[in-house]
Amino acid sequence: MKTINTERAKELIEETNGRIFSSTFIKKNGQHRLLTGRLKVTKGLKENAKPRPFEPSKYNLLCVYDMKINKYRMLNFNTLLTLTINKNKYKIMKLQEIKQDSKELHDYIKTYILPNESQQERIDYLKGNISYDVDYIREHMKHNTLVNCKLIE
């Protein structure tokens, strides 16, 4: 599972172009919820409907059509946990969390993981669009025979 930030999650959802995706997020009441949805659905929209009283993007929200309950729902990127698009699974990490990763962790990624990734993935990592799951890095360190690594707790 790759780790991405919320901005990249927005981009990926927009790029679905109406194809189905799923996400997990935390509802206002604290419960975790799975949403299977899509964009660009016009079913049930009224021609003379009142405009929204607010702009969802200003509140880090996106209106999506929930395929399970056949209703429109707001996806809150502030509480987004995971995203699955075309069988690709992503863990959502807030930019603040990414910035708090240790220098040692970043050095390890740059030295031992990035050289084996595609050029696009290296660029995305350096731009901050993707990161690596800590469990993945721990597993990589555990099996890395090139260096004597201290596992990050």
pTM value surpassing 0.85: no
User: How does pLDDT run across 92-138, given as a tens digit for each residue?
Assistant: 886 555 555 566 777 888 888 899 889 998 888 888 788 777 778 87
Identify the DSSP state of 81.
E
Helices (H), the chain: 6-15, 95-100, 103-108, 119-127, 134-143
Q: What topology does CATH give the domain 1-93?
A: SH3 type barrels. (2.30.30)
Query: Domain extents for the chain?
Result: 1-93, 101-153
Side chain identity at residue 130, one-letter code: I
Whether the CB-CB separation of 12 and 90 falls below 8 Å is answered with yes
Report the 10 Å Cβ neighbour count for 133.
14
Q: Is the model's pLDDT at 33 over the cut of 80?
A: yes
Question: CB-based contacts of 60: which residues, under 8 Å, 6+ apart?
Answer: 6, 76, 77, 78
pLDDT of residue 153: 44
Query: 70: exposed, middle or buried (C-beta count within 10 Å: 0-12, 13-18, 19+)?
Result: exposed
